[in-house]
Structure 1
């Protein structure tokens, strides 16, 4: 699979708060990946909660507050830098990561397991069914 495909810029991710893109894995399945800013730079996580595979970003940006990605269904909080969750239904789990590289402010997909398909998510209209106690 192609490596080191340019995705976007660090500035874009920081300004938008997150950046969503779609990849194909080695089994030919499409997956969504979320770029998020963290204190150490940029991290890339699969765009789904570890509890029930609920999507964080449904096309409007990921809900992030105080350095944590918020699951819109149950309110579990995932650290943007480590991907770890220590509360709620997803407690003691960590988001699957995708390797990216940053060079001179540009972000590249550097994970040999995935092929970049396009910016944005997989086309579907399914939004979150929230049971979260959090409000935005």
Structure 2
């Protein structure tokens, strides 16, 4: 179990991006997004791909159609509780991950298991994912690729 952030932070920032590594060593970006189902918070719950009653859900950071990233470094585009694919405009319910329109219709985002404790702290609890760092895959704290040299 790895401590990620808080429900309050996810709601204030409207999303929270982090990178995990799967059992095969492949890195994946994951987004935490607000899920306002109108249900009161429970004491401790694991998501396991089900609708959250803790105000936050975790999804792999890519549309099910053409693998377009939702969060490209500026947060997840959202409207009325739905994630918006920046490429084709498909809308995914932030709580269920299901899409019922556009190019990605009748698909559901891959979920990542999290647990929210009573104090609002969000933990990564997915047995298939190991926390690598906050931010996207390319945000690993290595040297910047920018240069002030011009030819």
TM range (shorter): 0.7 to 0.9
Residue of structure 2 in register with 1:73 after alignment: 87
Shift of 1:72: 0.1
TM-score computed with the length of structure 1 as normaliser: 0.87
Residue of structure 2 in register with 1:102 after alignment: 116
Q: Which moved more, 1:107-116 or 1:35-44?
A: 35-44
Runs (5+) with no aligned partner, structure 1: 125-136
Which of 8, 11, 14 does residue 8 from structure 2 map onto?
A: 11
TM-score computed with the length of structure 2 as normaliser: 0.79
Which of 56, 59, 76 does residue 42 from structure 1 map onto?
A: 56
- The within-5 A match list for 1:1-136 is 4-39=1-36, 40=53, 41-103=55-117, 104-123=119-138
Shift of 1:70: 0.2
Q: How far apart, in 1, do the equivalents of 2:84 and 2:57 lie? A: 15
Aligned length: 121
Shift of 1:76: 0.2
Provide the secondary structure at the position in 1 that maps to 2:57. strand
Provide the secondary structure at the position in 2 that maps to 1:6. strand
Following superposition, which runs of at least 4 residues in structure 1 exceed 3 angstroms of deviation? none
Q: How far apart, in 1, do the equivalents of 2:67 and 2:24 lie? A: 18
Residue of structure 1 in register with 2:45 after alignment: none
Provide the secondary structure at the position in 1 that maps to 2:8. helix
Instruction: List per-residue Cα deviations over 1:39-73 (Å, max 9, x = no partner).
Output: 23110000000000000001110001100000000
